[in-house]
Amino acid sequence: MQDNPVCDNRNAENNSPNGWVYTETVKEHFLNPRNFLMGDESQYPYDGVGTVGNPICGDQMRMYLQIKDNRITDIKWKTYGCASAIASTSALSELAKGRTLDAAQEISAAEIADYLGGLPEHKFHCSVLGHEALRAAIQDYRQNFDKARNAL
Rounded least distance, CB 47 to ligand FES, Å: 26
| Alpha carbons 44 and 51: distance in angstroms, whole number | 16
C-alpha dihedral over 148, 68, 38, 55, to 10 degrees? Answer: 70
Helices (H) and strands (E) in the chain, counts: 5, 3
- Extended strands (E) in 13-93: 48-53, 60-68, 71-79
Binding-site ranges for ligand FES (CB under 6 A):
54, 57, 59, 81-82, 84-85, 126, 129
Which of 28, 57, 66, 117 is labelled catalytic?
A: 57
Closest CA to 61 of 93, 101, 108: 93
Is 126 an annotated catalytic residue? yes
> Given the complex with ligand FES, which of 54 and 76 has the nearer CB atom?
54
Which of 26, 63, 86, 126 is labelled catalytic?
A: 126
Rounded least distance, CB 151 to ligand FES, Å: 38
> Given the complex with ligand FES, which of 82 and 109 has the nearer CB atom?
82
Q: Is 149 helix (H, G, I), strand (E, B) or coil?
A: helix
Is 82 an annotated catalytic residue? no
Rounded least distance, CB 118 to ligand FES, Å: 16
> Given the complex with ligand FES, which of 89 and 141 has the nearer CB atom?
89
Q: Any idea which residues carry the catalytic annotation? A: 57, 126
